């Protein structure tokens, strides 16, 4: 075997190794996305609970070691409480369940990009990662208006994954507001009818 | 009376009126500061309750129509809850007392500049005004790191008053940390003594 042949074999082994690594990485990403979708579906279930009581449908779950440790959905009007956003409800419950205000090792799955309060609470909780369904261009604070989850000035930064089941998460919200408008329309028509009678 | 005299009298009346307005403004500011100090003293009382249970001493009160509607002090470790900062505790209680997640017409008095979570919660609560004792240069989000209370992109902006009883508010914190260090020092010395024996 001459030098050239040896060199080519080495190169081939190197390429093979890189291909295997890349495949393993892709496989891991595929598995992670599968898992992310599974938990986002559970967050959507929570969002629908909010819609059922007439609240803006936003839902979330918090997962640790492949187990759901807390769930939450928006009940700000029902509870008469600023702190009853889906995320803050779930953070409170997870803290209680884990017996610690630190949510290290946890991931939150939330259907809509968190607001300034919930993004702040996520940084304060020292959660590892947040998986977001759809963005909130008008009020989101995990990248839209600003990104509180990833500021070098704070003592904790949260890993973000976006656009997981984006369309489904968005559809829950648009469906809710469409129904609200239609209901309002019907009521207005109804009122006019009564006035005419 | 000639034209010049008339002109001078008019000018004198105008100056007199401006002086009276300025005096009224200063008197109002003086009264407001007196009131602010009164409620900040109550916030300091809350902070001391936190110190008494070994928590970082931060306290606050929420006032509406010259009446304290809610109090809160930091009990993050005691409650094992990320959401148990002084401000979030008081916001939850005020929401409950007023039966509304909107804290319109309310003022919060807090001994230390709020963090990202609490600043976010204050914007979400649509509170009118926040009065701050001392700044938190490393983590404050009402002007130090950033100012979440006054961002044109959000649908609500909060009026801020700073430095009310600044020294007293700061002293509660420095006193707490000094005592903590001394206690730690004593414990370490104690341990060394035992090891030597």
DSSP one-letter string for B78-103: HHT-TT-SHHHHHHHHHHHHHTSS--
pLDDT of residue B147: 98
Q: What is the mean pLDDT of residues B103-127?
A: 98
| SS3 state of residue B184 | helix
Contact B96 A80 (CB under 8 A): yes
* B65 torsion bin: left (phi>0), alpha (psi -120 to 50), beta (else): left
Active site annotation includes A87: yes
The pLDDT tens digits of the residues spanning A57-75 come to: 999 999 999 999 999 999 9
Q: Shortest CA distance to B94 belongs to which of B104, B81, B103, B85?
A: B103
Q: Shortest CA distance to A51 belongs to which of A86, A82, A81?
A: A86
Cα distance between residue B73 and residue B84, in whole Å: 8
Cα distance between residue A105 and residue A56, in whole Å: 29
pLDDT of residue B191: 53
Whole-angstrom CA distances from B191 to B166, B184, B195 are: 38, 11, 6
DSSP A150: G
The pLDDT tens digits of the residues spanning A91-134 come to: 999 999 999 999 999 999 999 999 999 999 999 999 999 999 99
DSSP one-letter string for A31-94: HHHHHHHHHHHHHHHHHHHHHHTTS---EEEEEETTEEEEEEE--HHHHT-TT-SHHHHHHHHH
Cα distance between residue A135 and residue A163, in whole Å: 8
Q: Which residues partner with B64 through β-bridges?
A: B67, B106
The pLDDT tens digits of the residues spanning B4-54 come to: 999 999 999 999 999 999 999 999 999 999 999 999 999 999 999 999 999
Cα distance between residue A45 and residue A86, in whole Å: 12
Residue B2 pLDDT grade (very low, low, confident, very high; cuts 50, 70, 90)? confident
The answer to whether A68 touches A95, Cβ cutoff 8 Å, is no
Nearest to B120 among A102, A120, A125 (CB): A120
Q: Which residues partner with B160 through β-bridges?
A: B130
User: Which of A46-55, A144-153, B2-11 has the lowest average pLDDT?
Assistant: B2-11
Would you say how long chain B is, in residues? Answer: 197
Q: Which of B16, B87, B179, B195 is labelled catalytic?
A: B87
User: Which of A48-57, A187-196, B28-37, B152-161 has the lowest average pLDDT?
Assistant: A187-196
Rounded CA Rg of chain B: 23
Cα distance between residue A158 and residue A102, in whole Å: 13
Query: Which helix (DSSP H) or strand (DSSP E) does residue B170 occupy?
Result: helix B166-196
Both tokens assigned to B163: 């430095």
Task: Give φ, ψ of B106 to 5 degrees.
Answer: -105, 155
Nearest to B82 among A82, A95, A115 (CB): A95
The pLDDT tens digits of the residues spanning B97-112 come to: 999 999 999 999 999 9
Nearest to B117 among A99, A124, A151 (CB): A124
- Answering whether pTM is above 0.90, one says no
pLDDT of residue A2: 86
Cα distance between residue B61 and residue B50, in whole Å: 14
Chain A residue set in contact with B, beta carbons under 8 Å: 76-77, 79-85, 88, 91-92, 95-96, 98-103, 115-121, 123-125, 139, 141, 145-146, 148, 151, 153-155
Q: Does residue B87 surpass a pLDDT of 50?
A: yes
Q: Shortest CA distance to B70 belongs to which of B96, B49, B45, B44?
A: B96
**Sheet harboring B59-64: ordered strands across?**
B67-73, B59-64, B106-112, B129-134, B159-161
Which chain B residues are within 8 Å of A85, Cβ to Cβ? 124
């Amino acid at each position: 075997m001459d030098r050239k042949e040896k060199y080519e074999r080495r190169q081939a082994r190197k390429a093979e190794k890189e291909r295997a690594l890349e495949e393993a990485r892709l496989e891991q990403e595929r598995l992670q996305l599968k898992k992310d979708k599974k938990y986002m579906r559970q967050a959507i279930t929570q969002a629908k609970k909010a819609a059922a009581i007439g609240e803006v449908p936003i839902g979330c779950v918090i997962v640790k070691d492949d187990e759901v440790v807390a769930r939450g959905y928006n009940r700000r009007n029902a509870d008469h409480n600023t702190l009853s956003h889906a995320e803050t409800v779930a953070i409170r419950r997870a803290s209680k369940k884990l017996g610690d205000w630190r949510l290290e090792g946890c991931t939150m799955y939330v259907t809509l990009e968190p607001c300034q309060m919930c993004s702040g609470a996520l940084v304060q909780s020292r959660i590892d990662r947040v998986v977001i369904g759809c963005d909130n261009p008008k009020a989101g604070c995990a990248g839209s208006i600003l990104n509180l989850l990833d500021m070098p000035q704070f003592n904790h930064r949260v890993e973000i994954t976006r656009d997981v089941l984006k369309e489904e998460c968005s559809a829950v919200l648009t469906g809710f507001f469409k129904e609200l408008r239609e209901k309002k329309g019907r009521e207005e028509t109804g009122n006019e009818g009564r006035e005419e009678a």
